[in-house]
Amino acid sequence: MYITALLVLFICLGFSVTHPSSHKTTIEQRQVPDAEPSPAPVVFMDEPDIQNLNYIDPSSGLPFPPLKYVFPSTYLDPECTGAEELILKHAWRVARDIVAAQTTTFRDYNYDFPHSCWLGDDWNSAGDHSKYIADSFKLIQRLFGGLMKDKNIIVWRCSESSNPSLICRTGIDGTQLETTATTKYHVGRQGRGYWVQTTLFCPRFFQYETLKQQVERYKDEKEGQLRIANFEYRTAKTMLHETWHYGVVSDAIDYVYGSQACYKLARSNGAQITSLNADSLAYDGLAIYLHRKFKSIHPPTTEEHLEALRAQNPLSV
């Protein structure tokens, strides 16, 4: 009898194991009258996310074929045109170069300037935040290097989706705003499939200039090289921003957008918040990449920061 009871307990515990999640979920307790019968359990057919080497879109439609020469286990929306695919691949390659500049330690390079600017003066202080930044750098470096956790995939869309809800136009206070790209990290079919990082690239993204075009434009303009605003709205920087939202890399969300807001966030909140703000992490990498590319006197930054530097030392800018 004792052995039988243990066996039943073991089986019950075994069926209670669920997939671990890095995201905290709040469950609201609701009171249900005792007289109300419980609803019948819903039974789903278990359909895998990957069939015949293609990703099966839960919104239906054509299967998504695998995309080569980018992240591992990446699948492309068949609605993407050939021209859009080329833009995505180019943006990915430049984003990879930005990450290499950001995460590779060069002994002759002073990382304190860009990290303090975008992540806060406490970016390297002892504590959880500096460790989290270091761990996130390792994870994004591994991802661009071709390594990703099992049962994780990446999906790039050029068309909107109802499942998960991904749209290019959002309404705020009655105003329609068009985004450049948006990402959701979600569980696959019926919670039993892959962990899916899905990014929707909107028409606005494909209208952006490339970072290469901007670098060429400012290659002989020393003043222009110091202003991050000249380089922020580009395909590669957008690609990098969205990658920071991938659950295989970090728990980054969007506290603020834009160089000025990110600079102020670093001043007011420091690494506790910037380490979880996707745009702060993206600007940090972009500034290091451009500094090494131009070999300018210091990394590009905001106009507010440049004015402060001029006040301290007029010859420094």
In a domain, 60, yes or no: yes
Structure token pair of residue 65: 């074929």
Domain that holds residue 108: 50-309
In a domain, 42, yes or no: no
How many structural domains are present in the chain?
1
Torsion of CA 98, 101, 102, 103, to 10 degrees: 120
Alpha helices, DSSP H only, in the chain? 2-14, 82-103, 112-119, 128-144, 203-207, 211-217, 222-225, 235-243, 259-268, 271-274, 278-294, 303-312
Q: How far apart are CA 128 and CA 149, in angstroms?
A: 23
In a domain, 169, yes or no: yes
In a domain, 16, yes or no: no
Q: Give the distance, in angstroms, between the CA of residue 289 and the centroid of all CA atoms in the same chain.
A: 18
In a domain, 317, yes or no: no
| Nearest one of 82, 73, 70 to 53, comparing CA atoms | 73
Could you list the pLDDT tens digit for every one of the 317 residues in the chain? 444 444 443 444 343 433 333 433 332 333 333 444 444 444 334 567 898 999 998 877 899 999 999 999 999 999 999 999 999 999 999 999 999 999 999 888 999 999 999 999 999 886 788 899 999 999 999 999 999 998 999 999 999 988 778 899 876 555 567 899 999 988 877 566 789 999 999 999 999 999 999 999 999 999 999 999 999 999 999 999 999 999 999 999 999 999 999 999 999 999 999 999 999 999 999 999 999 999 999 999 999 999 988 888 765 55
In a domain, 109, yes or no: yes
Q: How far apart are CA 305 and CA 75, in angstroms?
A: 41
Q: What is the largest CA-CA distance in the chain?
A: 86
Which sign does the torsion angle of CA 239, 241, 242, 247 carry? positive
In degrees and rounded to multiples of 5, residue 189 shows phi and psi of -60, 125
Q: How far apart are CA 56 and CA 200, in angstroms?
A: 16
Q: How far apart are CA 117 and CA 285, in angstroms?
A: 11
Q: Annotate 209-243 with DSSP letters as a single string.
A: PPHHHHHHHTTT-HHHHTBGGGTSSSHHHHHHHHH
In a domain, 107, yes or no: yes
| Nearest one of 195, 241, 194, 202 to 92, comparing CA atoms | 241
- Domain at 274, CATH number: 3.40.390.10
Q: What are 201's strand-pairing partners?
A: 181
pLDDT of 163 reads 75
In a domain, 119, yes or no: yes
DSSP code of residue 293: H
